[in-house]
Structure 1
Amino acid sequence: MIDPEDKPVDHEEATVDDPDALGTRSKMIWPTISEKNLDSSISKSGQTREEALSDRYKMDYPKRGKAIIINNKNFDFFMEAKGYKTRHGTDEDACSMKERLQYLGFDVEMHRNKTCAQMMDILKQAAKFDHSDADCFVCVLLSHGEEGVIFGVDGSLEIRNIFNLFNGENCRTLVGKPKLFFIQACRGCNLDKGVSVNVADGSTTPLEEDEIRIPSEADFLVAYSTVPGYYSWRNSQKGSWFIQALQFMLLKQGTSMEIMKLMTKVNKIVVQDFESNTFPSLPSMHQMKQTACICSMLTKDLIFTPKECPMEIDT
């Protein structure tokens, strides 16, 4: 049985009093890391200046990078009393994502049933890690949730606090590198009944500055299993719809397709191939749909080009 989881361009300089003006390339208010030249941070992240200005992320560092999977299945008594029950099927999600990420060359750390404090400790250590010889960083969070929060086994944790650990201010060796977060969790309690679709047949200008400065919040991709306010669906035997689709596409085209195109195909699978089947036990939740929500702050194309010896897995 399927279980729900829980204006024209203004070319004048913009000022704080004129937040809608786009302005020119200015040293005034572009978000920066402590208003400092980022050349030193680029050096710490292992990039040359040419690589930092490229249209594609550098993916030929010695290592692919670290991947953290936090899989919360069983919750404490107080959480269960609030309705946050055991998440049957999440182990399938965790195992399949571990295999796919290892296949792509990641060094995967698996963590199970962690409190909020433990989750933050794990991720703080990951943010402090030296990523200068790595392509990127991945975090997979599998748990109950609500809008803006993810649950540890003992309570809620603001997702924004997790992201902040890896921004340019706090994780210098990942500056200019992709930081990917895949979050399988509810974001509310609404249900999507879906709508019918009627189907018919039918036939750069170079930078003028001497320094490179980028926003500290750049180079993130956050993929939520569902949109704000809605349930996220999980099959108690096969795992969640979102992770099933994601691991399938990572295996099929993970080393050849640009990540945003790949995530669009993931969403297509979730939208077209899945529908809840809870009749007759829960007729009010029968034939429900879901769509993933992909939020990108990436600044370049990202393709997990194969390392020399990717790990082989049975399919």
Structure 2
Amino acid sequence: MEEAMSPECVSNTDVPDAKPVSETDAFPFGKSKSQRKERGKPVATTIQTATEFFSHKYKMDYPNRGKAIIINNKKFNPNTGLNERNGTDQDASALCCRLSELDFDVDLFHNLKAEEIKVTLQKAAELDHRDNDCFTCAILSHGEDGFIWGIDRMIPINDLMEPFKGNKCLSLAGKPKIFFIQACRGTKFDDGVDMNVADAKGFMDVEPQFSLQKIPSEADFLIAYSVVPGYYSWRNSTNGSWFVQALSEVLMKHGQTVDLLTMMTRVNQIVANKFQSNTSHSDMNEKKQIPCVTSMLTKEVYFTSK
């Protein structure tokens, strides 16, 4: 279907002293019927000073670090045909420890149905987060690209994040919403590539009165996937998944000193360089993996000590 075009015969220069007009490539000219009606606009309950708003770092000195939800799905209903995820309990335990060390209030749930996952996260979004720095969720399960498995059926990952958007969860507006997803995103294997490695030894000076500022409702999310789209995600039945092993290691060493995106880059490095599949199935042996981080963060995240 062709995109609707804005008129080309009229430009701002055709009218003296005209102001630039913002348009979108959507019909009709950026507004749907529902958008044409005047509607009340939600106002975030997160109030920041101008210095905090324009800072390059998120404000992380609220009274509480925030809520962390861990959903650990190990055993699945027989009709799904899915195998038991041995090793996932080690992942859940490691994440519980690391997030608790970072002062999160951690809730751990085991073997939830799809609707139970949705309800659990909806309830978390409805909490009052005004005194919290941020929100974190880790989901450990089977998956496909764009979907995560409850123990009974799949559910779109976007549906689980929807309640936390800035226009829905007002007390988290302008605050980091962090999701860790340990799950497959397809059925391809990463064969890797051989490498020859040489051996080597203030925008504002004055504090004004608070004024209302707009931010995108989709902003301030970070979604860290264990693998890129289309590929299998590897898990050791004894030690846990490669991704969570690496994430736990990095959080333990650098959780309170290094910003989150830098930590996730180090997680990528560990998974890429340290791990390789070892299995009796020749078509699954010596495979590699690389995590994938999608960031809509607008500032740096530091889990500074409380």
Question: What TM-score does the superposition give when structure 1 sets the normalisation length?
Answer: 0.82
Specify the alignment match of 1:313 in structure 2.
none
| Pair 1:16-2:17 in alignment | no
Gaps of 5+ in 1: 1-10, 20-33, 308-315
- Specify which of 162, 167, 181 is matched with residue 179 of structure 2: 181
Q: Which amino acid in structure 2 is aligned with residue 300 of structure 1? A: K
Query: CA 1:177/1:36 → structure 2, altered by over 3 Å: closer, same or farther?
Result: farther
Where 2:57 maps in the other structure, the secondary structure is coil
Where 1:290 maps in the other structure, the secondary structure is coil
Tell whether the 8 Å contact from 1:37 to 1:211 is kept in structure 2 after alignment: no
Tell whether the 8 Å contact from 2:102 to 2:303 is kept in structure 1 after alignment: yes
Tell whether the 8 Å contact from 2:247 to 2:264 is kept in structure 1 after alignment: yes
Once residues 203 and 134 of structure 2 are traced to their aligned partners in structure 1, the CA distance between those partners, rounded to angstroms, is 27
- The aligned runs of 1:67-146 (5 Å cut-off) are 67-80=68-81, 84-146=82-144
Q: How many residues align?
A: 273
The CA deviation at 1:18 is 8.7
Query: Which consecutive aligned stretches of 4+ in structure 1 deviate over 4 angstroms post-superposition?
Result: 34-38, 200-206
Could you list the per-position Cα deviations for residues 127-149 of structure 1 after superposition, in whole angstroms to 9, with x for gaps in the alignment? 00000000000000000000000
Query: CA 1:36/1:301 → structure 2, altered by over 3 Å: closer, same or farther?
Result: farther
| Pair 1:245-2:246 in alignment | yes
The CA deviation at 1:45 is 2.2
The CA deviation at 1:203 is 11
Q: Which amino acid in structure 1 is aligned with residue 181 of structure 2? A: I
Once residues 202 and 178 of structure 1 are traced to their aligned partners in structure 2, the CA distance between those partners, rounded to angstroms, is 39
Query: CA 1:36/1:168 → structure 2, altered by over 3 Å: closer, same or farther?
Result: farther
| Pair 1:168-2:166 in alignment | yes
Specify the alignment match of 2:296 in structure 1.
297
Tell whether the 8 Å contact from 1:89 to 1:240 is kept in structure 2 after alignment: yes
Task: State percent identity of aligned pairs.
Answer: 49
Q: Which amino acid in structure 1 is aligned with residue 64 of structure 2? A: K
Query: CA 1:89/1:214 → structure 2, altered by over 3 Å: closer, same or farther?
Result: same
Once residues 275 and 13 of structure 1 are traced to their aligned partners in structure 2, the CA distance between those partners, rounded to angstroms, is 53
Higher relative contact order (Cα pairs below 8 Å, separated by 6+ residues): 1
Tell whether the 8 Å contact from 2:54 to 2:203 is kept in structure 1 after alignment: no
Q: Which amino acid in structure 1 is aligned with residue 284 of structure 2? A: M
Once residues 65 and 154 of structure 1 are traced to their aligned partners in structure 2, the CA distance between those partners, rounded to angstroms, is 30
The CA deviation at 1:13 is 4.0
Query: CA 1:57/1:205 → structure 2, altered by over 3 Å: closer, same or farther?
Result: closer
- Give the RMSD, CA atoms, in angstroms: 2.3
Specify the alignment match of 1:212 in structure 2.
213
Which has more radius of gyration? Answer: 2
The CA deviation at 1:77 is 1.2
The CA deviation at 1:53 is 2.2
The CA deviation at 1:205 is 6.1
Query: CA 1:119/1:200 → structure 2, altered by over 3 Å: closer, same or farther?
Result: same
